[in-house]
Structure 1
Amino acid sequence: MGREFNELFDEWSHSYDQTVTGHDPEYEEVFIDYDKILKTVAEKSTGTVLEFGVGTGNLTAMLNERGLNVFGIEPSEGMRTIAKQKLKNITLLDGDFLDFPKIDAEIDTIVSTYAFHHLTDAEKETAIQKYSELLKKDGRIVFADTVFSTEEAKQEKIRESLKRNFHRLAEDLQREYYTTIPVLQHIFEKYGFEVSFIKLNPFVWLMDAQKKGGE
């Protein structure tokens, strides 16, 4: 995974928390129930957690509140700076979904919110294969991200965004690597996971994947 979005996220870091709390009408539907979505991911997490795409640390804070041991991975220096200001005594590392420092601990849960779409489908498969080897035998992946039931559903959402003059949102949906549930289900199952998908808002789905053979 390249870091082509780093400059964007460095710039966005200062207003990110305002965006996710509904202050940008164009992205309001993307972030409906934002805190509830993060809470859902946190509550499904156990043990030692590896979090990708920490951003400003909102999910990290919830994981910490549950007493979990969290290793956070974030490629944007701007985001890391704000997360460190908000959260003390956290392990926050420079890295991304595919290129990150070796974690000297057994990982129970891998989590991410609003970030997995930065990988192409091929990169998503590489990541899931890597995580299947990294997780404990009963380990779990819990991701929440914009996903579409079909490619046609994605194209319909782009047309709808343009009709509403949400041009930045439409551009994002076309530029980044938003994928479909069938693609993700195939990848997870290929690498030994049982996965379920639950729609949490008009854009975001929860992906809950556990390694087969676990409880």
Structure 2
Amino acid sequence: MGLEFMPIFEEWASDYDNEVNGGNPEYREVFAGYWRILEEITTLSGEIVLEFGSGTGNLTEKLLAAGKTVYPVEPSQEMLNIAQQKSALKDVPFLAGDMEAFPVLPEKIDTIVSNLVFHHLTASEKERAIHRYNQLLPIGGKIIFGDTMFLSKKGYNEIVAAEKAHNRTELAADLEREYYPLIPELEAYFSTNGFQTSFRQMNRFVWLVVAEKSTEVEK
């Protein structure tokens, strides 16, 4: 899953927490309301949570503070090193892996979460991952993802053009390089794999998708 982006994860690790707090003007709109989005994911989550792309541990910390049992999965050792330096996370057993390849969990989960991670999967990887998540969750279990996504290809093209026009070249390059989903396509993936979904826009780039499992699907 998206391991071709590992050099970017490693490069961003040392500055990530500064970025999410608005330290880079080029990405300020992407991270607008970042902490509110994490709070919303935490509030909507159940009790036993599988977290993908835990990164520097910001969402992990919020989930734990809310009394959740959390299994955080992260492929970047640089990100993990920073997370484990935080006092609230130093004893957390982070798992090495990604959204497709991760260890067998010791107990049943009721929620799968991530923030700004799912777009690293290709379209076929997204659909395959959602199918697998159906197998992991009970009826009523939820997938809660915050991520950059777009309503249409036209809307995506307009935003890329606007970023280039404002000389936000690094952000424009990210938008063209990574696999940002279109909401109608993502909704179809979830529906095909037994989930009912709702989408809510959180800032100019990021939407929150809540997908609740309503049907078992064949393995």
Tell me if TM exceeds 0.5.
yes
The offset of 1:89, in angstroms, is: 2.4
Asked whether the equivalents of residues 139 and 215 of structure 2 are also in contact (C-alpha less than 8 Å), the reply is: yes
Partner Cα separation in structure 2 for residue 112 and residue 177 of structure 1? 16
Return the offset for 1:39: 0.5
Q: What amino acid sits opposite 2:175 in the alignment?
A: L
Match of 1:116 among 101, 115, 118: 118
What residue is the counterpart of 2:42 in the other structure? Answer: 42
TM-score, normalised with respect to structure 2:
0.96
- Paired residues for 1:1-215 under 5 Å: 1-86=1-86, 87-212=89-214
Please give the root-mean-square deviation of Cα atoms over the aligned residues, in Å. 1.1
AA matched with 1:47 = E
Q: 8 Å contact 2:195–2:215 — kept in the other structure?
A: no
Moved more, 160-169 or 83-92: 83-92
C-alpha distance after superposition, 1:109-131 (max 9, x if no partner):
00000110000111000000000
> Secondary structure at the residue paired with 2:128?
helix
Contact 1:200/1:206 (8 A) holds in 2: yes
Distance in 1 (alpha carbons) for counterparts of 2:44 and 2:36: 12
- The gaps in structure 2 that reach 5 residues or longer are none
- Provide the C-alpha distance between the structure 2 equivalents of 1:176 and 1:2, rounded to a whole number of angstroms: 9
Equivalent AA in structure 2 for residue 44 of structure 1: L
Contact 2:2 2:120 in 1 (8 A): no
Task: State the Cα deviation string for residues 96-148 of structure 1 (Å, max 9, x = none).
Answer: 00001111110110000011000011100000000000112221000000000
Identity %: 47
Q: CA deviation at 1:2?
A: 4.4
Structure 1 unaligned segments of length 5 or more: list them.
none
Q: Deviation per CA, 1:125-177, whole angstroms, max 9, x where unpaired?
A: 00000000011222100000000010111110000000000000100000000
Instruction: Name the SS for the 2:167 alignment partner.
Output: coil
Residue 61 of structure 1 aligns to which amino acid in structure 2?
Answer: E
Give the conservation status (yes or no) of the 8 Å contact 1:54–1:112: yes
> In the aligned structure 2, how far is the partner of 1:3 from the partner of 1:212?
31
Name the amino acid aligned to 1:179: P
Deviations 1:45-103 (A, max 9, x none): 11110000001000000000011000000000000111111113212111000001111
2-side partners of 1:132 and 1:45: how far apart? 16
> d(CA) in 2 for partners of 1:158 and 1:185?
22
SS at match of 1:4: helix
**Matches of 1:204 and 1:39 in 2, distance apart?**
14
Letter in 1 for 2:39: K
Are the aligned partners of 1:158 and 1:170 in contact in 2 as well (CA < 8 Å)?
A: yes
Instruction: Tell me the distance in 2 between the aligned counterparts of 1:20 and 1:102.
Output: 31
Point out 4+ residue stretches in structure 1 off by more than 2 angstroms. none
CA–CA separation in structure 2 for the residues paired with 1:69 and 1:206: 22
Question: Residues of 2 paired with 1:213 and 1:149: CA distance?
Answer: 26
Distance 2:111 2:92 in 1: 17
SS in 1 for 2:157: helix
